[in-house]
Amino acid sequence: MANSAQARKRARQGEKRRQHNASRRSLLRTRIKQVVAAIDTGDKEKAQAAYAKAVPIIDTMAGSSLIHKNKAARHKSRLNARIKALA
């Protein structure tokens, strides 16, 4: 347990940050799942629309270091490849 005032404050800040990051990570996963679900239905237009909504979220999370930039690029690349394969 934190004993000093500084340590108690850092513990509070860390908990607040953890909850904030968890919320943003959940949004990221939701957007990716929406694209995958649209791909699984076979509707290319719906998949492209979901992908267009997911890309800014993925980029934002990579920019704020929630996920690594390479992981963001990998997600976008794999999703886009699956959408193109629908043709």
Instruction: Give pTM, 2 decimals.
Output: 0.88
Domain ranges, residue 37: 5-84
Calculate the CA 31 to chain-centre distance: 7
Q: What local confidence, expressed as pLDDT, does residue 2 receive?
A: 81
Average pLDDT across each block of 10 residues of the chain; the chain has 87 residues. List them in order.
Answer: 92 97 98 97 95 98 97 98 93
CATH code where residue 45 lies: 1.20.58.110
The domain total for the chain is 1
From residue 1, how far is each of 4, 8, 13, 17, 22 by CA, in Å? Answer: 10, 8, 15, 18, 23
What SS3 class is residue 60?
A: helix
Scored b (16 or more CB within 10 A) or e, 31-61 reads bbebbeebbeeeeeeebbebbeebbebbeeb
